[in-house]
């Protein structure tokens, strides 16, 4: 269960004004909009989410890294838990023609507005109860999703991810010091699980999660 970093090159490419995030508009108000995971979160303003989540190819570099690391070949099956609009799954299909992809997300809006090329392979579902068979997938990924769950569902989601896939990789937010904790609190809109790396690793051990992981830090 190693810490393998496939996310930093994407995460660190974005500039963030932490103070503006909490000063420009009532943070509780925008968080209430964001956690609905509807239009405001995906395609509204930057204050309530992505500010318009459109495909721009940014996830292709991660898809290529994951393909190389896990040896993904045509015919293999990849699941994205918290797939949003399916952008990285589309990138998997471009990196490995013939790969089978599936995605689930809690957001009906994201699935409805997903990338057309993979839309028919996405569905609305909860990470805490995946509608798939044991070890159905060669690789399951979950990027920037599981920290949005309260502990009971987070526990279940980690167990479910372990159950459905042979190889696993997830990315969650964390903090190593007080500055990163404050920045995380300022920046986040939907986070429910605020943990240090040691606490995350404790959760992984308690739930039997044996996959790889990366942490996002707000430095």
Domain membership flag for residue 3: no
Name the more confident of 188 and 22. 188
Domain membership flag for residue 1: no
Domain membership flag for residue 12: yes
Domain that holds residue 138: 8-216
Domain membership flag for residue 131: yes
Domain membership flag for residue 148: yes
Per-residue confidence (pLDDT) for residue 99, from 0 to 100: 98
CATH number at residue 66: 3.40.50.150
Q: What distances in angstroms separate CA 197 from CA 181, 201, 215, one per listed residue? A: 12, 6, 7
Number of domains in the chain: 1
pTM of the model: 0.94
Per-residue pLDDT of 51-103, as tens digits, reads 999 999 999 999 999 999 999 999 999 999 999 999 999 999 999 999 999 99
Domain membership flag for residue 2: no
Per-residue pLDDT of 152-169, as tens digits, reads 999 999 999 999 999 999
Domain membership flag for residue 204: yes
Domain membership flag for residue 173: yes
Per-residue confidence (pLDDT) for residue 6, from 0 to 100: 86
Per-residue pLDDT of 116-156, as tens digits, reads 999 999 999 999 999 999 999 999 999 999 999 999 999 99
Per-residue confidence (pLDDT) for residue 10, from 0 to 100: 83
Instruction: Name the pLDDT band for 1 (thresholds 50, 70, 90).
Output: low
C-alpha atoms less than 13 angstroms from C-alpha of 155 in its C-beta half-sphere: 4
């Amino acid at each position: 269960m190693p810490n393998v970093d496939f996310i930093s090159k994407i995460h660190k490419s974005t500039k963030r004004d932490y103070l503006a995030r909490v000063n420009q508009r009532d943070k509780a108000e925008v968080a209430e909009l964001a956690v609905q995971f509807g239009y405001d979160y995906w395609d509204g303003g930057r204050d309530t989410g992505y500010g318009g989540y459109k495909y721009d190819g940014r996830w292709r570099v991660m898809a290529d890294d994951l393909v190389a690391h896990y040896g993904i070949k045509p015919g293999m099956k990849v699941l994205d838990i918290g797939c949003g609009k399916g952008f990285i799954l589309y990138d998997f299909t471009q990196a490995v023609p013939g790969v089978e992809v599936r995605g689930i997300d809690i957001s009906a809006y994201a699935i409805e507005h997903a990338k057309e090329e993979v839309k028919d392979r996405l569905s609305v579902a909860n990470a805490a109860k995946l509608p798939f068979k044991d070890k159905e997938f060669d690789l399951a990924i979950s990027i920037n999703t599981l920290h949005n769950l309260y502990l009971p569902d987070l526990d279940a989601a980690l167990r479910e991810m372990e159950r459905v896939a042979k190889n696993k990789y997830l990315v969650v937010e964390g903090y190593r010091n007080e500055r990163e904790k404050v920045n995380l609190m300022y920046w986040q809109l939907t986070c429910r699980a605020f943990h240090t790396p040691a606490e995350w690793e404790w959760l992984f051990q308690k739930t039997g999660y044996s996959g790889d992981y990366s942490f996002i830090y707000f430095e």
